[in-house]
Each structure stands twice: as structure tokens, then as C-alpha cells.
Structure 1
Amino acid sequence: MVIQHNLTATNSNRQLGMTTWMQSKSSEKLSSGYKINRSADDAANLAISEKMRRQVRGLSQASANAQDGISLVQIADGAMAEVEDMLQRCNELAVKAANATMTQQDRAYLQLEINKIKEEVDAISGKTKFNEKYVLKGKITGETDTGSDVDIDTNTQMPSWAAISDNDGGYMSGTYTEGENSYVSSKVDFSSFDGSEDKKNELDGTGFYTTCCTCTNHYSIKFNVGEGDSKETSGNHYIFNVDISDCNSADDLVSKIASLNTGHFTTFKNGGDGTLYIHDNRTTAKPKPGTGRGEFGNGVATEKQTIDDKGGDLILQVGSDKTSENLIAIELPYISAKTCKIDSLSVLTQKKALEAIDSVMEGLGFVSEQRSRMGSYQNRLEHAIKNLDNVVENTQDSESEIRDTDMAAEMVKNSNNNILKQAGEAMLAQANQSKEGVMALLQ
């Protein structure tokens, strides 16, 4: 019998410590609801669980994104429904004006209503927004995230008398000299602009664009009459709306454009004699075709999305990854009196009224086509949401199997640990008492 070491008590204490540790882990799992509370609990399954959590949370947000897209599309569709109603009214007025029983004064009254309808169609595109984003201004002002490719909206081509030159395959190829410095440049000849109403009307709604020689910044000049000067930003596309109503000569027009500041290397210069130069303000070499830099064109630039070759004005993130399958591109409609074919609608004569019937019919066809496209987007987004919700539900179930505590099984373990702890405490007490027999020998 020894007194220096009590191995029985030591063993009992070690077993009791292990039981206490297991009981604390069991209590932690029961109180938190998770069987993995730290990486040490299950390192491999923790990593798998976190990947699933990323997917679940990402897909849940993607579903919300798709729902926002549906809301935007519904706003556009509702506004176009109203435009269609106005076009139907224009058709009624045109048919009425085409009747030979109408007097000149009668047709003037009908024309007055048509003019107001034209104004409201244009107004609708300027006030229909979703989260401060225009939904009826299409590619011209639709906000985008990125895009280094440039396309041309053929409806905004400048008139032929505004000649573009020094433009080799879409790239600045000429030279602009200022003092001792020479710059790669393209130019536009506005010398035929005389400030007349006809010339202003020809430029109204048209424009041109250029791309920086060293980055993907796009700069568009869009002309208007009486709408005021403004600047819009669409990703890396900067649109300068230039009001030419007060330009009475080619020099006035070119000077106004030259006063614009891109805030970058691209510069507009008045070369005199109605010539506008567009150049990089550094003395750099001519960019080589195929580099995607220094593009220049006649027409207001419209950006093509380069996110996995997605095209459109809005790119919706409807997945948890960045691949093209997780993106939906929405090309917004551009609705105006001009695109609806009623900008020059007149019913002042019987002949014009008959022509107006055809114009309104064409405009109705255009708006109906745009509404049909919006409806297709909505249907696709609804299918995407259903699939996303299904994936989220089943992935969440799999993640739960890995991460969540099985409360029934854990309670069994906890009860077992409680019994083992009480037994361990009792055995430790008995082990300590076993040494008391030594005192009897010493008496």
C-alpha cells in the first residue's frame, strides 16, 4: 500500500475530465443547434458547409434580383400599354380626319389633340423610371456595368452633310497639329451647318461617339433642340446632350462641342471653318486597328455588354457565380414619338390623314413588339426564380444535414454523459477514500 501515488484516483479523474469535456461539447451543440461550431469540430465538413452557405445566400439574393427585374419589366410594360392607348386614339383621330365631311377647321382641332399626344409620348419616356433608372430610353441612357465593344444605333445617324473623316476602320487615323505638337485625331465637318431650322431639325436626336485610345471610356455627343444641355453616365459611357437651339452658325456649333470636358485624354477641338477635331490630348502614336481603342463613329454609341458576350442595357445577376448562365441581359425599349412613328403625324388634310393611319399602324406594331419582348423577359425571369428557389431549398437541406444538430441523438449522448459524470465523481470519491486505510496502520 503506497501513499505517494493514487493511480486509482488519477484514472478516475482522467475519465471524469473526458466525460466533462464531452458533456460540455454536447451542451454547446444542444444550445447552438449546430454540431459544427468551430473548425476543430469537423474541418472537412465545415469547408463543404461554407460552400453550400455561399451558394444558398447567393442564390437567395439572385432570386431577389430576378424579382427586381420583373418589377422593372412590369413598369416598362405598363407604360407602353398607355402609349399603345394613345396611339389607338391617334388612329381614331386619323380615321376621323380622313373622312371627306371634315372641314379644315375640324382637322385643326384634331391635330391639336394629336400634338398633345406626341408630347405625352415623349414625356412618358422621360419620367418612367425604376430606382432612378430610365426604362423606356433603351440603349441611349440605359445604365450598364461595363463594355468595351461599341455598336451604332442606326436611328441616330447624323445627316450625310456632317462628314466624318480621318477615321480608318473605326479608328482615329488623322493628325491634329497644335503648335509643335501633333495628335492622332478624327474630325467631323460641320461647315454646312448654317443655323437654320431645317439643319437643326436634321441634327436633332442624332450624334456621334468616340472611344478613348487607352481605355474603354466611350463619349457620345447627342444633339437636341430645346431640351437643354446635360451629361449622363452609363457605366463607362458618357453621354453629352447638346442643345443646339442657340447655335446660329457652324462655328457656334463646333465651339459648343469643343467646350465639353471629358475629364480624360479624349479632347474636342475647334479647328476653324466648321471643323471639329476629336483626339487624344497626348502626343502618342496612332492606335493599331484591332486593339479596341480609338474607335470613332457616326451615331450615338450604344454599348454591348462584354460580360461573357451578354448584350443588352441591363445585366441581371440571377445566379451565385459569374458565368454567362448566371446572367440575363435585358434590352430596354426606346419609346418616343419618333420611334412610334408619330413625330411628324399630321391630319390637316385628307391625304395626310390617310398617310397618318399607316404611320400609326406601324407605330402600334413597334410598341406591341416591344411589349411582347418585355413579356418574354418576365416569363423567363419567373422561371428563373422558381428554379432558384428550388435549388436554394434543396441545398439548404443538404447543408442542414452537415451543419445542424440532431437534437434527439444529441440528447441521448448528453443523458449518457450525465450518467457517466455522476459515476465518475462517485468512483473518484471512493478512490480517495481507499487511502484512508493507511491511517489505521499508522495508529
Structure 2
Amino acid sequence: MIINHNISALNTYRQLSLNNSNAAKSIEKLSSGYRINRAGDDAAGLAISEKMRAQIRGLNMASKNAQDGISLIQTAEGALNETHEILQRMRELAVQSANDTNTDFDRESLQKEVDQLAQELSRIGATTEFNTKKILDGTFTGRLHIGANADQNLEISIGDMRGLALGMVGKTVVEVKGTYNKPTGTPTSENSIVPGEYTVKEVIEGTDKYYQLVDVNGNVVADSKNDTDLTDGITFKGKGKGSDGSSEELEFTHPVTSGKVTVKEDAAGTRVVTGTLIVENKGLQAGEYTIKEVGTGNYELQDSNGNTIATSADGQKFTSIEDGETELLTLSAAITGDEKVTVGGIDISSQTAANDAITAINNAINKVSTERAKLGAYQNRLEHTINNLGASAENLTAAESRIRDVDMAKEMMEYTKNSILQQAAQAMLAHANQMPQGVLQLLR
């Protein structure tokens, strides 16, 4: 019998420590719900389950990406629905204008509505956004990441749905300021240029060309030629004469070779003159713009919000600020000072123009329909993608659960066994500690 080393107590203590450790692990698993709480629990299982977790979380995020893609498509499609409504109304107006029961005044009223509708077409296309990204101006192309791994993308694009791309934008009208010069001396004849609206008419005589100012009754009240040579549409001399032989004149800051001229009289009796110059539309959306002189010989073309869209160094050729090369507006001569520019809608101002407009609007409607069909196809595909991602994530989650999650019933059995062994070891340790007491009997 020995007392220095109680082997039975040491053995019982070792078993008790082991039981305590096993019971603690069981408690940890039961409280966390996981079979693997650390790499030591199952090194291979941990590695496999972490890869599965990466896939599951990637699939869930890909599903959210696809849902965001559907939201983007629905935003674009909702805007295009209104674009269709506008085009249908424009077609209705074109059909109405194509009927010759309308007067010129009727057609002017119809044209005004078409101009406003064209501006709204361009506004919708230019301002429709999703998460600050413009989606209908022809610049949107992107990838929707619809998978858990790299390069699992769906490429989508949306065409330019603004008025210009749809062919619904018409003439560009530049407003030109002018002055009225009254004949000096006592008038010998009544002034012919009275307040009202006039049309500029081009006249060709042999190799010569000049311009006439025609009133609403078809009477020529002034022209741009004089006794010595022909002018370029800047100065129009009227029929009114002063006692000294001087003529009444309209003088413009820029050649007026087309469009209309308006003469108004303000409260002070001063005649205010405005001319309009119709030029080719090279790339401007329907709307209102302003030419501003920002320095000697430097000009900017600004939209209705004050944003600069084109610049010019000569006041004649205005190029886009996006690439510095695309011409948006070209005038026949340099502009001086600030002027207004208006871009209207498709022309329905005559029977022939309105008839042609019907075909053009039909083409625009078809173009928008094609784009909406493409967006609908994208959306249907993404809905199937979401369903597939959901099923994949569910099955992977089940597989990861089998590896990572604890079987609560089984672990409870293990914990109960360890708890009983722990109590038994404690009792046996108490008995083992009492065994050296027998040595005292030999010492009596």
C-alpha cells in the first residue's frame, strides 16, 4: 500500500476530466446548434461547409441582383409605356392634320401640341433613371451578375428612346433679334412694315438670289435687295419713304433666310423685331435652347436647364461637348449676342407633311414596341433565373446543414451519457481519495 501516488485517484481524475470535456463539447453543440464549432470538431467538414456557405450566399445575392435587374427593366418599361401613349397621340394629330378640312391656323394649333409632345418624348428619354443611371438615352449597357461565381453574367442594353432617335424631332428654329429703322423726315408714304407676322420668301432671278418679307395677305412689304447689289438677308428695305428719300428698314443680327419675322410694338411705341431662321437639325432633341456668348468669340449652346451641350469658337459651328466633334448646330453665318433656339416636333403643318408623318410615327411606334418586347423577354428570363437560384440555394443549404448542423436528439443522448459518466467519476474520485486512509490502520 502506498500514499505518495494514488493511481486509482489519478486514473479517476483523468476520466473525470475527459468526461467534463466531452460534456462541455456537447453543451456547446446543443447551445449553438452546430456540430462543427471549430476546425478541430471536423477539419474536412469545416472546409467543405465553408465552400458551400460561399456558394449559398453568392446565390442569394445573385437572386437579389436579378430582382434589381427586374426593377430596372420595369422602370424603363413603365417610361416606354408613356412614350407609346405620346406617339399614339401624335399619330392621332397627324391623321387629323392630313385632312384638308383644316385651315392653316388649325394646323398651326395641331403643330404646337406635336411640338410639346416631342419635347416630352425627349425629356422622358433623357431623364428616366434607375439608381442615378440614365437608362433610355442610348448609353445604358451593362451586366447583371446572376450567378454565385465569376463571369456568370447577363448582358442587357436599352436603345435610345428619345425623340430624335425615334424620328419625332423636326425643324430647328433660331430666334434672331432685329431693329426697325424708321424713315427720317416727314413720311411721303405710309409705312408698310406694321406690327404683325411676316414670312420670309426666297426669290431667285437668274443667278441672283434675295429674300422678300410677305405679310399674311401675301403682299410683299420689304425685300433684301437694293439698287446696287444683293444682300444676304440681314437688311430688309420696306416701301415706306421719308421726305428725304430714306427707306424704312429691318436690320437683323444674323441673316434671316427662312422662317418668320414678327414685329411688335411695346408700351413706349417702339417696334420690337424678331426673326426666325430655320436650319437643319443635326442632333438636337426637341426643346428650348439658348446661344450665349461667354467671351469674345466664344459661344455656348445651353439647354433649358442651363447645361452646356455644345460650344463654338466662331459663333457658327457648334460641336457637342461629349466628343468635341459632333456638330449639333450649324448656322449660315456667325451669330452675335445671345439668341434662342427652339426644336419642334415632327412636321404636320401641311397635308403632305402630315401624311408623311403618319408613316414616320408608325415606324417610331414599332421601334418602341420592339424595345419593350426585348425588355419583357429580359424580365421573363430573370424571373426564371430567380427561381433557379432559389432552388439551388435551398438544396445547397440542405447539404451544408447535414455537414454543419448538429442532430439535437443524438447529441442529447451523448450529453446525457457524458453527464452520468461525469457524476460517476466524481463519486469514484471521492472513493479513490479515501483509499490511502487504510494505511493509517497499519500505523496504529
Question: What's the TM-score bracket when you normalise by the shorter of the two chains?
Answer: 0.5 to 0.7
- From the superposition, tell whether residues 65 and 79 of structure 1 become closer, same or farther in structure 2 (CA, over 3 Å): same
Aligned to 1:99: 99
Letter matched to residue 248 of structure 1: G
SS in 2 for 1:138: coil
Compute the displacement of 1:372 (Å). Answer: 0.3
Identity of aligned residues (%): 43
Letter matched to residue 384 of structure 2: H
Compute the displacement of 1:103 (Å). Answer: 1.3
Letter matched to residue 403 of structure 1: R
Aligned to 2:282: 202
Aligned to 1:411: 412
Aligned to 1:13: 13
Distance 1:7 1:86 in 2: 98
CA root-mean-square deviation: 3.4
Report if aligned partners of 1:30, 1:407 keep a CA contact under 8 Å in 2.
Answer: yes
Letter matched to residue 107 of structure 1: R
Aligned to 1:89: 89
2:77 aligned with 1:77: yes
Which deviates further from its counterpart, 95-104 or 116-125? 95-104
SS in 2 for 1:34: coil
Report if aligned partners of 2:84, 2:365 keep a CA contact under 8 Å in 1.
Answer: yes
Letter matched to residue 33 of structure 2: G
Compute the displacement of 1:143 (Å). Answer: 7.0
Instruction: Structure 2 unaligned segments of length 5 or more: list them.
Output: 145-158, 166-253, 257-276, 286-299, 329-342
Distance 1:49 1:246 in 2: 66
Compute the displacement of 1:102 (Å). Answer: 1.3
Would you tell me which structure has more helix in proportion to its own residues?
A: 1
Would you tell me which structure has more strand in proportion to its own residues?
A: 2
Compute the displacement of 1:249 (Å). Answer: 4.0
Q: How many residues align?
A: 292
2:190 aligned with 1:114: no
Runs of 4+ in structure 1 displaced over 3 angstroms?
Answer: 141-145, 153-156, 194-201, 228-231, 244-247
Report if aligned partners of 1:63, 1:389 keep a CA contact under 8 Å in 2.
Answer: yes
Aligned to 1:367: 368
Distance 2:59 2:137 in 1: 30
Compute the displacement of 1:101 (Å). Answer: 1.2
2:125 aligned with 1:125: yes
Compute the displacement of 1:438 (Å). Answer: 0.7
1:62-96 deviations in Å (ceiling 9; x for gaps): 10111011001001001001000110011111111
Aligned to 1:319: none
Letter matched to residue 61 of structure 2: Q
Letter matched to residue 132 of structure 1: T
Distance 2:314 2:278 in 1: 13
2:135 aligned with 1:135: yes
Aligned to 1:227: 303
Letter matched to residue 122 of structure 1: S
Letter matched to residue 363 of structure 1: A
- From the superposition, tell whether residues 412 and 299 of structure 1 become closer, same or farther in structure 2 (CA, over 3 Å): farther
2:390 aligned with 1:389: yes
Q: TM-score, normalised by structure 2?
A: 0.59
SS in 2 for 1:409: helix
Letter matched to residue 402 of structure 1: I
Compute the displacement of 1:195 (Å). Answer: 11
Distance 2:16 2:31 in 1: 22
Instruction: Structure 1 unaligned segments of length 5 or more: list them.
Output: 146-152, 157-193, 206-223, 232-240, 263-267, 269-275, 277-297, 301-341
Aligned to 1:171: none
Aligned to 2:310: 243
SS in 2 for 1:243: strand
Report if aligned partners of 2:119, 2:344 keep a CA contact under 8 Å in 1.
Answer: no
Compute the displacement of 1:138 (Å). Answer: 2.1
- From the superposition, tell whether residues 110 and 125 of structure 1 become closer, same or farther in structure 2 (CA, over 3 Å): same
Distance 1:28 1:195 in 2: 91
Compute the displacement of 1:127 (Å). Answer: 2.3
Distance 1:105 1:249 in 2: 33
Report if aligned partners of 1:229, 1:242 keep a CA contact under 8 Å in 2.
Answer: no
1:421-440 deviations in Å (ceiling 9; x for gaps): 01111111111111111111
Distance 1:440 1:99 in 2: 134
- Within 5 A, what are the aligned runs for 1:18-417? 18-139=18-139, 201-202=281-282, 204=284, 225-227=301-303, 242-244=309-311, 248-249=315-316, 344-417=345-418
Determine which structure has greater relative contact order: mean sequence separation of CA pairs < 8 Å that are 6+ residues apart, divided by chain length: 1
- From the superposition, tell whether residues 111 and 200 of structure 1 become closer, same or farther in structure 2 (CA, over 3 Å): closer
Aligned to 1:334: none
Aligned to 1:163: none
Aligned to 1:338: none
Compute the displacement of 1:399 (Å). Answer: 0.7
Distance 2:367 2:11 in 1: 88
Letter matched to residue 27 of structure 2: S
Report if aligned partners of 2:9, 2:432 keep a CA contact under 8 Å in 1.
Answer: yes
Aligned to 1:191: none
- From the superposition, tell whether residues 44 and 424 of structure 1 become closer, same or farther in structure 2 (CA, over 3 Å): same
